[in-house]
Structure 1
Amino acid sequence: MPEAPAGTPGIELSVASYNVHKCVGTDGQFDPGRVVAVLAELGADLVALQEVDRRFGRRTALLDPARLAQATGLQPLPVSDLPDGMGWHGNALLVRPGTRWQLRRIDLPGAEPRGAVIAELTLPGRTDRLRVVAAHFGLLRRCRTRQVETVLAAIGQGKAGQGKAGQPTDMPTLLLGDLNEWRLNRARNALTGLEAVFGGVTGGPPSFPSRRPFLRLDRILGCAQAQVLRVEAHDTPLARLASDHLPLKAQVRLPPAQQPARSDLAAAA
């Protein structure tokens, strides 16, 4: 994670989101090694992954944590309730060693099983916390609308939460994931409920399908305290082959550390 130059408020963090399509590439071949190589290309400090586990039967991980760590310097947070799993409803978070964390897993309403991971992170070299929501929304618009409401409530910004939509979040917050919304028309876009916290939701680069992307299914969104400065699709020959989604990568500016870290945060060794 880069340090800010002297006199510059805050720091910049490189983050990414990647739907790995259960490690099946656009050639129909199952190859976790290609996914790991794409993650190494990204060079991000924090990555949200979708579809990292087997879909049927025992939801074991498709990526090898040791191979991930060797290639990228990142390690998965213990999101799965299986010793050989990696995700929650396929969602995983990769962080730098030394990151301290608290985790919460939530189920998302809808016609098919979906979920989100909410992590409060203390990054190496900092004392304050960053909240990261990693999610994979459903295919139906009515389900995505309900899933937006559930996420906002979970971070205290929705009707069922302690806060109120439109108020600032209590800490810098990012939302990363495959949100499955392609509509540019705000009137029909199921994500507009997020705008009170995260700003505009209809923009961003297309990421699907990876060979010739034209749909904006993936998002990296930040609140006022976690400003997303630029977002781009990571479009390389290997990324076009490894999954049917291109990864998104962004630079995020965090404010100067002010809040003390909580003593009960666990550390990623």
Structure 2
Amino acid sequence: MRIASYNIRKAVGLDWRRDGGRILDVLAEIDADVVVLQEADKRFGDRAGVLQPSDLYARLGYRPVDLSTRAESHGWHGNLILYRDRSLVLTDATRIELPSLEPRGAVSARFGPNDLEVIGVHLALGRGMRMRQLEALGRHVTEADHPVLIAGDFNAWRHDAAIPRLLGGGARMILPGKSFHTTRPSAPLDRFVLKGGLQEASAHVHASDLSARASDHLPVVLDLDWPAGLRQPEPEMRP
């Protein structure tokens, strides 16, 4: 099972053109089962989404998890989860309130048949507020009796051992590599945290000619290895 996380900067590339189709092309290169996006909505006005949901499904087979509170938005505070309904069933979805001085929050979706919870985050720039947000996320996941994967832009420039500690016992952080800035990747801002027995098979930064132009972040990718005792999702049946 492949999970990707991508801060798409409102689909504005390094050429300062807003091009949602270019983001879809990058997602096609990655071919993930679940995609967690940050900055999927415009910042001002009606906070309209920058991708076309019809294109997401027609081209890539992705359904958006609808947690928006504005008619034109894709996600909540720019956080959006996409999934392929050929192999996964959405069983629950919720918004997670986080303390913040900015419009920030987290989104959660649970998927069958393996009861995996995926949480998408875009955390604060300042470490003090980021620690408070991680404490709030820790309270959300501490009693979870199912596997949990947290993905997103953590805005942490270093490893920071406090991150898994604040997310509770058994949390393990996965740093695929340096994903920011695309012109000269120097910081692992984008990362994953696993809880509940999940194991990574591999993780990497998706660096391609297209992803180097589409946003100021490179996407990060995690392939999950389902250990014995956790139910593995059925493989996707492609036409």
TM-score when normalising by structure 1 = 0.79
**Structure 2 residue 185 is matched with structure 1 residue 199:** no
Q: 2:149 aligns with which of 163, 174, 178?
A: 174
- Describe the superposition over 1:154-190 as per-residue Cα deviations: whole angstroms up to 9, x where unpaired: 12x1xxxxx4xxxxx410110010010012354xx55
Pairwise mapping of residues 35-50 of structure 1 onto structure 2 (< 5 A)?
35-50=23-38
The match for 1:226 is: 198
The match for 1:251 is: 223
Q: 2:115 aligns with which of 124, 129, 141?
A: 129
Deviates more, 1:248-257 or 1:27-36: 248-257
User: 2:123 touches 2:130 (CA, 8 Å); kept in 1?
Assistant: yes
User: 1:172 touches 1:254 (CA, 8 Å); kept in 2?
Assistant: no
The match for 1:184 is: 159
CA RMSD of aligned residues (A): 1.9
- Describe the superposition over 1:208-253 as per-residue Cα deviations: whole angstroms up to 9, x where unpaired: 0012211000012212422122210000010010000000011012
Q: 1:154 aligns with which of 132, 135, 140?
A: 140
Q: CA deviation at 1:18?
A: 0.3
| Distance in 1 of aligned mates of 2:110 and 2:61 | 20
Kindly tell me the number of residue pairs found equivalent between the two proteins: 229
Deviates more, 1:107-116 or 1:41-50: 107-116
What runs of 5+ residues in structure 1 fail to find an aligned partner?
Answer: 1-12, 158-162, 164-168, 259-269
Q: CA deviation at 1:192?
A: 4.3
Q: What amino acid sits opposite 1:232 in the alignment?
A: H
What runs of 5+ residues in structure 2 fail to find an aligned partner?
Answer: 232-239
Deviates more, 1:76-85 or 1:13-22: 76-85
Q: What amino acid sits opposite 2:155 in the alignment?
A: N
User: 1:145 touches 1:191 (CA, 8 Å); kept in 2?
Assistant: no
Q: What amino acid sits opposite 1:82 in the alignment?
A: R
User: 1:133 touches 1:174 (CA, 8 Å); kept in 2?
Assistant: yes
| Secondary structure of the corresponding residue to residue 222 of structure 2 | strand
Q: 1:225 to 1:120 in 2, by over 3 A?
A: same
TM-score when normalising by structure 2 = 0.89
**Structure 2 residue 80 is matched with structure 1 residue 108:** no
Task: Report % sequence identity.
Answer: 37
